[in-house]
Amino acid sequence: MDTLLLSRIQFAANISFHILFPTITIALGWVLLFFKLRFNRTGERKWMDLYLFWVKVFALSFAMGVVSGITMSFQFGTNWPGFMETVGNVAGPLLAYEVLTAFFLEAVFLGIMLFGASRVPGWLHTLATFLVAFGTTMSAFWILVLNSWMHTPAGHELRDGVVYAADWWAIIFNPSMPYRLTHMLLASGLTVAFLIAGLSAYRLLRGDRAAEVATGLRFGVILGAVLIPAQIVAGDMHGLNTLEHQPAKVAAMEGNWETQGNVPLLLFALPDEVARENRLELGIPSMASVILKHDPAGVVPGLDDFVAADGTVLHPPVAAVFWSFRVMVGIGVLMLLVSWGAAFLIWRRGVEGVPRPALMGLTAMSFAGWGATLAGWYTTEIGRQPWLVQGVLTVEQAVGDIASGMVATTLVAYLLVYAALLAAYVGVIFHLARKGGRYDAPVASPGMQPAE
Amino acid sequence: MFDPVALPLIFAALMGVSILLYVVLDGFDLGVGLLFPFADEGERDRMVASIGPFWDANETWLVLAIGILLVAFPVAHGDILTALYLPVAVMLIGLILRGVAFEFRAKAPLGHKRPWDAAFWAGSLMTALAQGFMLGMYVMGLEWTWAKVAFALGTAGALAVAYSFIGAGWVILKTDGVLQRKAVGWARGGIWGMVLGMGAVSVATPLVSARIFDKWFRFPEIVALAPLPLMSGLLVALLWLALRRLPTANDSFAWFPFAGAVVLMVLGFFGMAYSFYPYIVPEKLTIWQAAAATESLAIILVGTLVVLPMILGYTVLAYVIFRGKATKLSYD
Ligand code: HDD
Ligand code: HEM
Ligand code: HEM
């Protein structure tokens, strides 16, 4: 395999591993703040127990996020030197602001949040919790500004092949940023909602009857049930925005080869890039036209529009985008059914009355958010191919001149480490759940024991 | 201040400060990891407790340093990092291992602690060696020849010893009793490695480059520069004397080995900075040739000037909150 392909796989592996953990910490930070404030308010022990349980998950996820994030920042230089050389004048300040306004804030106050409870006044500990949550959200903001700019560049000018910033306001609020940020923050919230619901269900299944478990289940289910409709609406708006700015991506998502009206919404198909058609199509007639154009006869751009006269294909690989998109939406629909079903059961019968199969279903969905989030990113990112920065820089132009053997060796090393750590992470989370609920030390005031 | 001459200089200085802060701060917590095999289980818990609140923020200085290299000197960034591809990968995997081992060892099921301790040590070692190797290669002008790689392997070992020394200094400062006495012993063992390493780099740098040789051994510079090696020598002697007397009955001077190690690292750093200035890729690219567009640097600088004092402020706050001897955390 050549350096380009290997570097792409390596980048994809690293970012896929990285994104798993921020997805958890971004929303979990706010959830912890909520638990802490509820405890400050009510003085009820269960809120503190919830805090103490989830702060461990938070600390672990945070460490995983930090170390994999450091790998990310080195990747630009080691594998993609052309990226910074071409768009560094825009990407640089955005990354710099992320480090300055987010990373230090999180890192320093995380120490106080985890270990400082017995050393600082309660209000300062609550403030530290807030600042950590705020910091994770800020880092999501800056990195998504950059990522969105790479999809829908704006506010820049090209001089001698190098990008210069012309209008920072336009760069930051580029056309896809609001949609992507909203969709990602909701994705983070959903991931955490299902993780909390899933682990609480798991503890219930194992006969753990601590008060915090029932509260955790109720909290997770309600959070999921509230966020998922919002996510579906946000996703739909995101898609319409993409249709406007990256029509080739939407054509690949829909598996639509020809520009035409009455495009069906495909539920299943095997896109064939050679014959340039789908096999085994199964779809709802005209539905894609309705979704994208709000009109059954609406004309939707097709992939064949993105083939140059000499036959060069200018659209992304179809099958990968098509299927990633279906996985994400599929999980989204499943989330809707499960969270609303569970909410209904809890409402009618109370937490104790939720039948075992439903608890098993929730447990199985513990990491569903990860699946949807990754699938969503694959849709977006693969859908941008062959561009790295849409219309400005192709992936091929950015890759570094390194021996492919070296990239292959390090790739194998990373994959091994990631696989081992992922297994350890999931294993430890369930281990914590199994022994959860045993905080014997009395909790007196908003000051607490160190959360380790 | 926002002109194309001053801006790259300011950013080079900022990058220097971040690298220096990184080497000193992550240096001590990497060093603590390196010393793991010499401590027993209870002592390890205490050593980890002493760096627990800090390691993440310490590592962030590396992110800032690499970030500045990335954003302010995009051309140099590609050159340096592609040349150092392998050691960078080793370092990253090392950082991953130690960063997570730290959390896992506290949360893993009973009986799974030892493998994570081993991972913590191995990760710290990989990181320290890789950084030392990169330092050596940088001094040697980023060329992969056998002789230069051999030198870099030497600096790899030396930096690992230097980190263990500053790590031992940290343990002396943050603990008491048996562990503290042990740490004094570690520091006594480490100081020679540190002297050797700094010595090797100081001797080799001018020999590799006639330009650097000239910068140091030219009159009158040589007079102005003489205090640098003299002060280092004096400090080493003082450290050696102190280590023979520590720990004292009332714990006075427990801060001295750590502070001494910090000053040594600072002196060494300034020596290096003086040698390489104004180059960022040794003998190839100066900081002005490698700098990004002035507009972009200016917009970063404005933010930096506002935010950096705040970062330093809350970093100091964290060190104040967690001052004093580290107590053993209860990992249930
Ligand atoms: C700052 C920029 C940035 C950000 C925030 C992301 N990506 Fe990305 N991604 C790139 C910058 C990039 C890139 C440098 O532009 C790549 C490398 C090669 C390429 O095709 O584009 C890329 C490629 C790339 C690929 C390979 C696509 C292909 O080669 O066909 C995948 C699967 C992902 N990314 C996944 C993700 C995920 C899961 C992200 C979520 C966190 C993510 N990316 C965020
Ligand atoms: C190329 C892309 C990326 C790079 C270079 C990158 C870089 C980093 C780095 C260096 C860290 C560690 C900071 C520290 O030392 O504290 C980090 C952590 C983090 N990153 Fe990323 N990141 C990328 C993508 C993303 C994306 C897409 C998101 C979210 C949408 C994200 C959200 C976060 C968050 C919230 C943290 C804090 C640590 C945590 O909560 O786990 N990052 N990132
Ligand atoms: C069920 C309805 C959903 C719809 C209609 C939808 C729609 C979309 C669309 C169109 C994109 C591609 C954006 C682009 O073109 O660049 C996208 C990306 C993404 N989706 Fe979804 N989505 C849905 C559910 C979910 C769920 C449940 C999650 C996670 C829990 C999720 C997470 C993501 C992520 C992380 C991305 C990539 C980041 C981004 O571009 O915002 N989505 N989604």
* CB pair distance less than 8 Å for A401 and B96: no
> Minimum-distance ligand to the CA of A194?
3
The pLDDT value given to residue A437: 53
- The dihedral of CA B258, B260, B263, B265: what is its sign? negative
Bridge partners (DSSP) of residue A156 are A165
Quick one: which of B324, B316, B260, B329 has its CA closest to B57? Answer: B316
The pLDDT value given to residue B117: 86
Q: What angle do CA B314, B318, B322 make, to 5 degrees?
A: 165
| Interval A387-406 mean pLDDT | 85
- State how far the Cα of B240 lies from the Cα of B249, in Å rounded to an integer: 18
Bridge partners (DSSP) of residue A270 are A279
pLDDT at residue A452 greater than cutoff 50: no
pLDDT at residue A380 greater than cutoff 90: yes
DSSP state at residue A313:
B
Q: What percent of chain A has pLDDT over 70?
A: 96
DSSP secondary structure string, A396-409?
HHH-----HHHHHH
What pTM, to 2 d.p., does this model score?
0.83
ipTM for this prediction: 0.74
Task: Provide the chain A residues 392-411 that lie in CB contact (below 8 A) with chain B.
Answer: 400-402, 406, 410
pLDDT at residue A302 greater than cutoff 70: yes
**B122 vs A: CB within 8 A:** no
Q: What angle do CA A187, A190, A192 make, to 5 degrees?
A: 110
CA of A34 to the centre of ligand 2 (A): 23
> By alpha-carbon position, which residue is closest to atom 40 of ligand 3?
A180
Task: List b or e across B5-19, with b for residues whose CB sees 16 or more CB atoms inside 10 angstroms.
Answer: eebbebbbebbbbbb
Backbone angles phi, psi at A399, to 5 degrees: -70, 145
Q: What angle do CA A414, A418, A421 make, to 5 degrees?
A: 140
Residues from chain B that touch A428, judged by Cβ atoms under 8 A, are 104, 107-109
DSSP secondary structure string, A425-448?
HHHHHHHHHHHTT---S---SS--
- State how far the Cα of A28 lies from the Cα of A199, in Å rounded to an integer: 14
Residue B279: which H helix or E strand, with range?
A: strand B279-281
> Minimum-distance ligand to the CA of A234?
3
Bridge partners (DSSP) of residue A307 are A313
- Residue A12 structure tokens: 């994809």
> In terms of residues, how long is chain A?
452
- Residues A15, A21, A23, A24, Cα dihedral to 10°: 170
pLDDT in tens, A29-65: 999 999 999 998 898 888 988 998 899 899 899 989 9
- Name the residue with tokens 């990008």: A163
Q: Report the gap between the CA of A108 and the closest CA in chain B (Å).
A: 5
pLDDT bin (cut points 50, 70, 90) of residue A450 is very low
Q: Report the gap between the CA of B307 and the closest CA in chain A (Å).
A: 7
The pLDDT value given to residue B316: 82
pLDDT bin (cut points 50, 70, 90) of residue B332 is very low
CA of A406 to the centre of ligand 2 (A): 25
The pLDDT value given to residue A441: 40
A358 burial type by CB count under 10 A (0-12 exposed, 13-18 middle, 19+ buried): middle
| Interval A437-448 mean pLDDT | 41
Going by C-beta distance under 8 Å and a sequence separation of 6 or more, which residues neighbour residue A166? A155, A156, A157
- Name the residue with tokens 């001053």: B6
| Interval B188-207 mean pLDDT | 81
pLDDT at residue B153 greater than cutoff 90: no
- Name the residue with tokens 């390596």: A10
> By alpha-carbon position, which residue is closest to atom 30 of ligand 2?
A140
| Interval A220-229 mean pLDDT | 95
Pocket-testing residue among A1, A15, A85, A323, ligand 1, by greatest number of atoms within 8 A of Cβ: A15
- State how far the Cα of A85 lies from the Cα of A72, in Å rounded to an integer: 17
The pLDDT value given to residue A1: 67
Strands annotated E in A88-200 = 156-159, 162-165
Ligand 2 atom, smallest distance to A65 CA? 41
- Residue B139 structure tokens: 């001094």
pLDDT in tens, B210-221: 777 887 787 777
C-beta neighbour count of A280 within 10 angstroms? 8
Alpha helices in chain B (DSSP H): 6-34, 41-51, 55-72, 74-83, 85-107, 113-139, 146-174, 177-208, 210-216, 221-225, 227-245, 256-276, 287-290, 294-321
DSSP secondary structure string, A246-306?
-HHHHHHHHT--S-BSS--EEEEEEEETTTTEEEEEEEETTHHHHHHHSSTT--B--GGGG
Q: What percent of chain B has pLDDT over 70?
A: 97
The rounded Cα B131 to chain-centroid distance in angstroms is 9
- State how far the Cα of A273 lies from the Cα of A295, in Å rounded to an integer: 28
β-pairing verdict for B279-281 and B285-286: antiparallel
pLDDT in tens, A28-38: 999 999 999 99
Under 8 Å between Cβ of A60 and A425: yes
- State how far the Cα of B45 lies from the Cα of B29, in Å rounded to an integer: 14
pLDDT at residue A183 greater than cutoff 90: yes
- State how far the Cα of B95 lies from the Cα of B118, in Å rounded to an integer: 14
Under 8 Å between Cβ of A169 and A155: yes
| Interval A401-409 mean pLDDT | 83
- State how far the Cα of A7 lies from the Cα of B82, in Å rounded to an integer: 13
Quick one: which of A379, A362, A132 has its CA closest to A252? Answer: A379
Q: Report the gap between the CA of B118 and the closest CA in chain A (Å).
A: 15
| Interval B7-34 mean pLDDT | 86
The pLDDT value given to residue A48: 87
Ligand 2 atom, smallest distance to A67 CA? 12
DSSP secondary structure string, A113-134?
HHH-TTTS-HHHHHHHHHHHHH
> By alpha-carbon position, which residue is closest to atom 1 of ligand 1?
A147
> By alpha-carbon position, which residue is closest to atom 36 of ligand 3?
A376
Residues from chain B that touch A415, judged by Cβ atoms under 8 A, are none
DSSP secondary structure string, B123-182?
HHHHHHHHHHHHHHHHHTTS---HHHHHHHHHHHHHHHHHHHHHHHHHHHHH--HHHHHH
